[in-house]
Amino acid sequence: MKNILLLGATGSIGDSVLNVIRQNKSTLNLFGIAVGKNIKKTESIIKTFLPKHIFVDDVKAYDEISSFHPDKNILNSDQELLNLISDDKVDIVISAIVGFAGLKASLMAVNAGKTVLIANKESIVAAGDILMPLARSKGSIIIPIDSEHNAIFQCLPEDKTTKDVDKITITASGGPFINIPLSKLSDISPKDALKHPNWEMGSKVSIDSATLVNKCLELIEARYLFDLNEKFFDLVIHPQSIVHSIVTYKDGSSISQMSNPNMEVPIANALGDSSKVPIEYSKLDFNNLNLSFQEFPSDRSKLQNLAREVCNTGGSSGLIFNAANEIAVEYFLKKELKFSQIYDVIYRTFDLMPLSNPQDIETLNELNNEARIKAKKVIKSIT
């Protein structure tokens, strides 16, 4: 029986993790959860899965949930979260808190030497230069559960070495506006941008998919996860979202991972050891399977080039890229920023922030706050 600590249990990734656990109750146990403000969903999880430990980040929600469950171990402080993550009974920590907010817990889990299943790409984008060396020094195993990175993980040899890799292709669906030029997307509404054709995701990731920023974040994440120069990675549009990544080796052979778009597939794979974790899934019909690929749109080349610059620069560059995007998406969802202006906020904030090499979480937090303030000033200047 594996004891799982699920950070970000009420989000869309949390839903997928819980579905995998629900189908494998004899081998997977929800030992604890970390949640934010969603009291109703938290109560449903507690009732269904009976986790022994519940960390509630929001103070108001903590007071309310504590009053409902005087017999449960309800936690709220950073020290209590650290103690929970470090508990010897925890076999796997799943980092599924969206955005930079998930970095603190990701660092705690890595520092505790845990096996970490990471969906929080922003942790790696913003702090890859700190997180990855820390994982190596602490013996922490990081397994990606983003579909693309998990696909790469599956396509690598058993020892996960990349010495024979010639190229890695990361696919993107293209989002809801595939084949529509950026010049025609200025007045797109949040409602339209949230309509992803293939995946059911939270609002932040859905907007990132629509702008293709998500694929650029994944490029930066892949550079750190697999310790390869950005030149090894290609980004291509694959509208069907069936092939999630392709690894091409020096002998000319290419190995891909394929499945219908369903986050439970990479999660189940990451939760498996010597044997596969079984789940219900939609089977591919190879008799009627049509797959297509096309170039990453040229009108988003500036965005991709900036992501590649981040890969090569490191330091605070990924943090700035991520912070500017998070603020831009927040204002777009509030209808205070146009869709096309999301890119301007990223570019201008990046130009305004001096680059540095933060070495600790305190400095990262300070720089993150500074970048967000700069992004808000940029928004004010262009709206």
Residue 161: CB atoms within 10 A of its CB come to: 10
Half-sphere exposure of 78 (CA within 13 A, CB side): 8
Residue 10 inside a domain? The answer is yes
Task: List pLDDT tens digits, range 147-192.
Answer: 999 999 999 999 999 999 999 999 999 988 988 999 999 889 999 9
Distance CA 360, CA 271 (A): 30
On whether residue 170 sits in a domain, the answer given is no
- Is residue 264 assigned to a domain? no
- pLDDT tens profile 51-108: 999 999 999 999 999 998 888 899 999 999 999 999 999 999 999 998 888 899 999 9
DSSP state of 72: S
How crowded is residue 37: how many other Cβ atoms within 10 Å of its Cβ? 14
Q: Is there a domain that residue 168 lies in?
A: no
Pick the residue with more confidence: 24 or 198? Answer: 24
Whether 93 contacts 85, CB under 8 Å? yes
Q: Which of 122, 144, 166 is the last residue of a domain?
A: 144
pLDDT at 274: 72
∠ CA(334), CA(336), CA(340), 5° rounding? 105
Out of 123, 144, 165, a domain closes at 144
In a domain, 266, yes or no: no
Q: Which long-range contacts (CB under 8 A, 24 or more apart) does 82-89 make?
A: 82/108, 82/112, 84/5, 84/32, 84/34, 84/53, 84/55, 85/5, 85/109, 85/112, 85/114, 86/112, 87/5, 87/31, 87/32, 87/53, 89/3, 89/31
The answer to whether the beta carbons of residues 309 and 321 sit under 8 Å apart is no
Residue 274 lies in a domain: no
The whole-chain average pLDDT of the chain stands at: 94
Structural domain includes residue 304:
no
Task: Identify whether the C-beta of residue 264 lies closer than 8 Å to the C-beta of residue 16.
Answer: yes
Range of the domain at 43: 2-144
- How far is Cα 199 from Cα 16, in angstroms, rounded to an integer? 12
Specify the number of domains making up the chain. Answer: 2
Which 8-state DSSP code applies to residue 294? Answer: E
CA distances from 194 to 199, 201, 220, 292 (A): 10, 9, 23, 23
pLDDT at residue 292 is higher than 90: yes
| Alpha-helical segments (H) within the chain | 12-22, 39-49, 59-68, 78-86, 103-111, 121-138, 147-155, 190-193, 203-211, 213-225, 264-271, 301-313, 317-333, 341-352, 361-382
Count of helix runs (H) and strand runs (E) in the chain: 15, 12
Counting Cβ atoms within 10 Å, is residue 198 exposed (0-12), middle (13-18) or buried (19+)? middle
Instruction: Identify whether 16 is part of a domain.
Output: yes
Question: Over the stretch 107-144, which tens digit does the pLDDT of each residue have?
Answer: 999 999 999 999 988 899 999 999 999 999 999 999 99
**Gap between the Cα atoms of 270 and 266, Å rounded:** 6
At which of 117, 144, 171 does a domain end? 144
The CATH number for 339's domain is 1.10.1740.10
